[in-house]
Amino acid sequence: MSLITVSIIKADVGGFPGHGGMHPDIKSRAQEYLRDNGSVLSDFHVAHVGDDLDLILLHDKGEDNTGVHKLCWDTFLACTEVARELRLYGAGQDLLSDSFSGNIKGLGPGVAELCFTPRKSEPITAFLMDKTEPGAFNLPFFKMFADPFNTAGLVIDPAMHDGFSFEIWDVEEHRKVVLHSPEELYDIIALLGAKSRYVLKRVFPNGGPLPKDEAVAAISTDKLSQIAGKYVGKDDPVGLVRAQAGLPAMGEVLEAFAFPQIVSGWMRGSHNGPLMPVGWEDAVCTRFDGPPRVTAYAFQVTPESLGRAADPFRDIAFDNARRTANDITDYLRRHGPFEPHRLPLQDMEYTTLPQVLEGLSSRFVSLPEAAAKGGAKASHKATPRAEKGH
């Protein structure tokens, strides 16, 4: 059986209004452009979350294919033209290069791709996030593939009992490691728990019916701030997961998002807030440019077509997660510009805050204690304990 590839390639080409949502003309242009120029594709679906345009693609060209990536780059350029005409906010925000050179990675857009041997039924879900960073996938995907309290199949399905392997990227040192669950569970948590530095990239099955070298989940890990060297908007990641028959059931995949974990991003990419799972209608970030959202597009993929898209988070069973996220929003907002609502300083490095602090640098004077210590250094001799009266 020949391999098929599902790709999500995404970019913010302009928000409507502000950074909150998507103008319908942008999506129409993407649809039109892919329809007229997408002969390299078997099928596509144009989606969005907040101000991010997500191209969900089916093809047989494998990962990192120049033709597929170039098509997306050109689609984003065509959509940016529309954004400029409409004077949308941040037109072309994520297109950080003037030209395309073989691969869209490193140019600004985010990419998640799965290349695999299709089974007779292939449920696959695209998770799209706005106002957060790639590490926001660490917790839900860990729960899906390693936590039996989320995924009962890890315990009761012999096809999943050998667990899964996690490919984790260190985005600061630009290196990666593959760790195996359940044997190395605590090491996996040690890394994935530090979500701003270690981000989950792919998941592979350890046993069961699926090929061990074909990833069953993938996440975009592109860090815009590191590409741009300054803050131009959050990374707003995407993830793809296959489900059922040797993998977590659809319900186990979705269950991982029923806990509205705290993620970083939100207003000016500088705040912690709850990740709210929402249906398509509610995939818009208005309150304080948020709170951060995740929406899902689920498909029964065939080799020829993505088929119809379903909207799983529309389910009222996620209402309590949304209610909790709204309560957390009220609570965190009361901190205003104070931590832990505002991110810690090291995470503010790529925002505009360093410019504000720079303006204050000449106003700082050394504390008297430090000056005294520094000045006394040359003549300093240790005082015998007895003289101090101890």
**Which residues in this chain contact ligand 13P in the complex, by CB under 6 A?**
12, 19, 50-51, 90, 93, 130-131, 233-234, 236, 249, 251, 267-269, 289
User: Residues near 356 by Cβ (< 8 Å), separated by ≥ 6?
Assistant: none
Q: Are 5 and 113 in contact (CB under 8 A)?
A: yes
C-beta separation of 132 from 264 below 8 A: yes
Query: In this complex, which beta carbon is closest to Mg ion, that of residue 286 or of residue 305?
Result: 286
The secondary structure element, H or E, covering residue 204 is: strand 198-205
Least distance from Mg ion to the Cβ atom of residue 272, Å: 17
Does residue 12 bind Mg ion (CB under 5 A)? yes
12 is annotated as an active-site residue: yes
**Shortest separation between residue 133's beta carbon and ligand 13P, angstroms:** 10
Smallest gap from residue 54 Cβ to Mg ion (A): 11
Half-sphere exposure of 292 (CA within 13 A, CB side): 31
Ranges of H-type helices in the chain: 24-37, 66-85, 138-146, 153-156, 185-192, 224-228, 250-255, 319-333, 353-360, 368-376
DSSP string, 69-131: HHHHHHHHHHHHHHHHHTT-BTTTTT---SS--S-STTSS-EEEEEEE---SSEEEEEEEEES
Residue 350 is among the residues annotated as catalytic for this protein: no
> Helices then strands (H, E): number in the chain?
10, 14
94 binds Mg ion (CB under 5 A): no
Q: Is 133 among the residues that bind Mg ion (CB under 5 A)?
A: no
Pick between residue 4 and residue 13 the one whose CB is nearest to ligand 13P.
Answer: 13
Q: Taking CB under 5 A as the rule, does residue 236 contact Mg ion? A: yes
Nearer to Mg ion, 252 or 289 (CB): 289
From the list Mg ion, ligand 13P, none, pick the one residue 208 interacts with, judged by a Cβ distance below 5 to 8 Å according to partner type.
Answer: none
The answer to whether 90 contacts Mg ion (rule: CB under 5 A) is: yes
Tell me, yes or no, if 282 is annotated catalytic: no
Between 51 and 122, name the residue whose CB sits nearer to ligand 13P: 51
Shortest spacing between CB 298 and ligand 13P, in angstroms: 14
Task: Candidates 158-166, 232-240, 269-277, 295-303: pick the segment binding Mg ion (CB under 5 A).
Answer: 232-240
By annotation, the residues acting in catalysis are 12, 231, 234
